[in-house]
Amino acid sequence: MKEKTVRCVDCGSEFTDEEIRDIQSCPTCSSDAIPCAIKNDVTIRINLHELRILTIWASNWAAKLKTPSPSRTMVSILSRLRKQLPEGTCLTIMDELNTLQDVYPNSEVTDSEGNVILPPKKVQ
């Protein structure tokens, strides 16, 4: 079996060189983002607080962009990070708000312009 060499930054699917030869997008999710080389995976030492600062800034910036691609990529990267962290670790402001809403399910969150960004949870 051939070794997987690249990973889609949007869906996380991994491929061999042969599987992606002569294609212009991810075979799994059709993303046209440049894939990352698996050989460049690294393990870094970072404090969880520092990681949260980085992910909060990055996710907020991605959310402000008008195209879905940076936001989709950010969501995918955050998903892979969450799998490596203790359960319940909040990496973004929306994670924090969702956690608060677990305690206060009838709460509604709006942005500075009055737009609802997190409606009340449906309590059963």
Place 62 in a pLDDT band, splitting at 50, 70 and 90: confident
Cα 74 from Cα 46, distance rounded (Å): 19
Task: List the one residue out of 9, 5, 4, 124 whose CA is nearest residue 75.
Answer: 9
Write down the pLDDT at residue 38: 97
Question: How many other CB atoms sit within 10 Å of the CB of residue 55?
Answer: 20
Write down the pLDDT at residue 22: 92
Backbone φ and ψ for 92, nearest 5 degrees, come out as -135, 165
DSSP run (H or E) holding 72: helix 68-82
| Average pLDDT value for the chain | 89
Paired residues of 37 in beta bridges: 6
Q: Can you spell out the DSSP letters for 22-68?
A: T-SS-TTT---SPPEEGGG-------HHHHHHHHHHHHHHHHHSSSH
Write down the pLDDT at residue 1: 75
93-100, long-range: CB < 8 A, 24+ apart: 93/56, 93/59, 93/60, 94/59, 94/118
pTM score above 0.85: no
Dump pLDDT digits (tens) for 68-117. 667 788 888 999 999 999 988 999 988 998 888 888 888 888 888 888 98
